[in-house]
Amino acid sequence: MNRKQFVILLVLVAIVGSAGLLLYRKQASSWAGGGAAIGTKLLGDFPVNDVAQIIVKQGTNQLTLAKKDDLWRVQERNDYAANFSEISGLLLKLRDLKVVQTEKVGPSQLPRLALATGQGTNAATVVEFRDAGGKAIKTLLLGKPHLKSGGKRSPMEEFGGGGYPDGRYVMLGGTDSVALISDPLSNVEAKHGSWLNKDFFKVEKVRAVAVTFPTPTNSWKLTRETESGEWQLADSKPGEQLDSAKASGVSNPLSSPGFEDVSVGAKPEETGLDQPTTIALETFDGFNYTVKVGAKTNDNYFLTVALAANPAQERTPGKDEKPEDKDKLDKEFKAKQQKLEEKLAQEKGFEKWTYLVAGWTVDPLLKERSQLFVENKDETKQDEPKPDEKPEEPEEPEKKGEN
């Protein structure tokens, strides 16, 4: 290669490099008007601590999360407490989320990415962030998920799913460019139940369970003398023998219940709570729960809970208790009572709400009285022939015309 050829090669390299640099700068600045460049933060300098309202609009549904008295609440659920960890996790994630790719897209192409305006099937999910005074901080439009594909086909692709989501197409409010981010933000939906604080009451150390049905003959009550004792049927009648296996289904009733959503505005006759099934639970710690179960909608029951408590105020010394053990046992008793008082204060707060609780949570307690007994295997089913008996053959009909 002579000197002239070498110079020409250097010029070509410089031209190609300059073109590449210009293309990169053009792509990196494609979010003009306040957007973000590739590799930079999606929301820029996002003031997380200033956010006091989050509004999610998805079709005709709207979710409003608002901070009131330093607590996040779900406005459409009469300000029921929201899940703080979910909200803070979302805000921190968005603060650090970076742009992977940007692209100029015309208005006619936005429906293809589920970023159209309005309430149609291809409309974007709109997320607004506001301060305590209601002033807009940022607006983010969420479009369709980006699906991972290529290489070995995933199980979802085998069934026509097209891969699993590994990102999402988004737009910042006030811009005309689409960005791709590396998080699908699947939990950002206008589903109120998903944002509620799911802390709930827990029944511990049950001593007695009584279920009262609208039909009195279906009602029953089980009791036990100790925490590990066998359940006994109260007021048993002749011929009624409790099946211990069936009774085991209520051995730890509502020990860790959960709820799907909070019901707002429905009347008792609409929820079935005007004629409920009532579950009364007494515990060895002196807690008495009254749980009312209403109608079933889809897979959930309407449910309310009320609590009264009368925990022991003084410790009863053991029979063989030694004097040197008294101080230790007194301190343990005092610590236990303090926890019970805290539990009482927290669970009393659940009384003013009507909840939607998954059916599997309460179904074991909704057995009717007859379903708790040992089946009588000696009884022969009615109209069933015995092994040594032959069924009677039907008589042949008389033929017409015969004498």
pLDDT at 30 over 50: no
Does 83 or 377 have the greater pLDDT score? 83
Instruction: Residue 308: name the closest of 335, 338, 280 by CA.
Output: 280
The proportion of the chain whose per-residue pLDDT surpasses 90, expressed as a percent, equals 64
CB 357 within 8 A of CB 301: yes
pLDDT at 191 over 90: yes
The proportion of the chain whose per-residue pLDDT surpasses 70, expressed as a percent, equals 81
State the pLDDT at residue 154. 42
CB 210 within 8 A of CB 280: yes
CA distance 185 to 189: 9
| Virtual torsion, Cα 304, 310, 315, 320, nearest 10 deg | -70
Does 22 or 304 have the greater pLDDT score? 304
Q: What is the pLDDT of residues 173-189, one digit of tens each?
A: 888 889 999 999 999 99
Look at 105-109, 190-194, 260-264, 356-360 and tell me which has the smallest mean pLDDT: 105-109
**Pair of tokens at residue 335:** 């610590």
Q: pLDDT band for 155, please (50, 70, 90 cuts).
A: very low
For residue 374, give the 3-state DSSP assignment. Answer: coil
**Pair of tokens at residue 27:** 């792509």
State the pLDDT at residue 378. 59
CB 11 within 8 A of CB 63: no
The mean predicted confidence, pLDDT, of the chain is 85
Residues 6+ apart with CB under 8 A from 59: 119, 123, 190
Instruction: Say how many Å lie between the first and final Cα of the chain, rounded.
Output: 130
332 CB neighbour count, 10 Å cutoff? 11
- Give backbone dihedrals phi and psi of 12, rounded to 5 degrees, phi first: -60, -40
Residues 6+ apart with CB under 8 A from 204: 255, 283, 285, 287
Q: What is the DSSP letter of 54?
A: E
State the pLDDT at residue 31. 38
Q: What is the pLDDT of residues 97-153, one digit of tens each?
A: 999 998 888 888 999 999 998 888 899 999 999 999 999 999 999 999 998 865 444
CA distance 146 to 164: 8
State the pLDDT at residue 223. 96
Does 18 or 264 have the greater pLDDT score? 264
For residue 87, give the 3-state DSSP assignment. Answer: helix
Instruction: Residue 261: name the closest of 63, 121, 85, 71 by CA.
Output: 63
- Angle CA 242–247–248, to nearest 5: 140
State the pLDDT at residue 86. 97
State the pLDDT at residue 28. 42
State the pLDDT at residue 124. 96
pLDDT at 75 over 60: yes
CA distance 196 to 71: 12
CA distance 60 to 223: 50
- Give backbone dihedrals phi and psi of 336, rounded to 5 degrees, phi first: -65, -45
CA distance 320 to 89: 53
